[in-house]
């Protein structure tokens, strides 16, 4: 595990803690004005303008079937990948976690829930369990293609 891979951005969705690689995070910002797009899944909130770049915005709470709501700490994490960027609405950014080799446990096996497909592991911190996510896998291939197409067409 390299130094870049052992740093995770920890955030809260409803009452659950999640984390994603800090190396994939471009920035964190308050919830901006989001332009809705018709005929997309309910968790796809729309698009936003980030300094001239069109970014698709999704609500992982809604995608995971968690209770969504706006709080004073609600924000958008911009994840940047080679082919696209995506904004993810979260309830709160908690901290940056540095994990040591062996501290990341394998993802729990489950055939009963799709959520487990995007969980890459679990980190235990005190009384808290933090589920690590692969954001790209959270978007299935069809959704990833939709995000890329909407972003490219709106640019």
Q: Is 1 within the bounds of a domain?
A: no
Specify the range with the lowest mean pLDDT, choosing from 34-43, 67-76, 88-97, 108-117.
Answer: 108-117
pLDDT confidence tier of residue 67, bands split at 50, 70 and 90: confident
Q: Give the pLDDT confidence score for residue 1 in this predicted structure.
A: 47
CB atoms < 10 A from the CB of 91, how many? 22
The model's pLDDT over 103-146, given as tens digits with 9 standing for 90+, comes to 888 877 766 555 467 888 999 888 889 999 998 888 765 666 66
Q: If residue 55 lies in a helix (H) or strand (E), which one and from where to where?
A: strand 53-59
Q: Is 97 within the bounds of a domain?
A: yes
Alpha-carbon gap, residue 54 to 48, rounded angstroms: 6
Q: Give the pLDDT confidence score for residue 88 in this predicted structure.
A: 95
Q: Is 107 within the bounds of a domain?
A: yes
CATH number at residue 42: 2.40.50.180
CB atoms < 10 A from the CB of 22, how many? 16
Q: Is 25 within the bounds of a domain?
A: yes
* Structural domain span for residue 89: 7-154
Tell me: pLDDT of 29 over 80.
yes
Overall average pLDDT of the 46-75 stretch: 87
Q: Is 15 within the bounds of a domain?
A: yes
Sheet holding 25-30, edge to edge: 25-30, 75-80, 85-90, 53-59, 44-50
pLDDT confidence tier of residue 40, bands split at 50, 70 and 90: confident
Tell me: pLDDT of 5 over 80.
no
Q: Is 2 within the bounds of a domain?
A: no
Vertex 45 angle, CA 67 and 135, to 5°:
75
Q: Is 119 within the bounds of a domain?
A: yes
Phi-psi region at 41: left, alpha or beta (left = phi > 0; alpha = psi -120 to 50): beta
DSSP class of residue 35 equals B
Overall average pLDDT of the 3-30 stretch: 90
Q: Is 146 within the bounds of a domain?
A: yes
91 versus 68: which is more confidently predicted?
A: 91
Q: State the total domains in the chain.
A: 1
What residues form DSSP beta bridges with 60?
none
26 versus 67: which is more confidently predicted?
A: 26
CB 17 within 8 A of CB 6: no
Burial class (CB in 10 A: 0-12, 13-18, 19+), 56: buried
Q: Give the pLDDT confidence score for residue 65 in this predicted structure.
A: 86
């Amino acid at each position: 595990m390299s130094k870049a891979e052992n740093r995770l951005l920890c955030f809260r969705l409803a009452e659950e803690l999640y984390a994603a690689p800090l190396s994939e995070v471009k920035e964190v910002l308050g919830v901006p004005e989001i332009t809705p797009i018709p005929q997309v899944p309910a968790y796809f909130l729309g698009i936003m303008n980030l300094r001239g770049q069109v970014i698709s915005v999704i609500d992982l709470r809604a995608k995971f079937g968690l209770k969504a709501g706006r709080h004073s700490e609600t924000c958008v994490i911009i994840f940047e990948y080679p082919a696209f960027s995506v904004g993810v609405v979260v309830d709160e950014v908690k901290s940056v976690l540095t994990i040591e080799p062996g501290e990341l446990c394998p993802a729990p096996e489950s055939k009963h829930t799709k959520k487990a497909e995007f969980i890459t592991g679990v980190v235990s911190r005190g009384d808290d369990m933090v589920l690590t996510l692969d954001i790209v896998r959270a978007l299935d291939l069809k959704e990833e293609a939709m995000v890329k197409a909407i972003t490219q067409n709106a640019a």
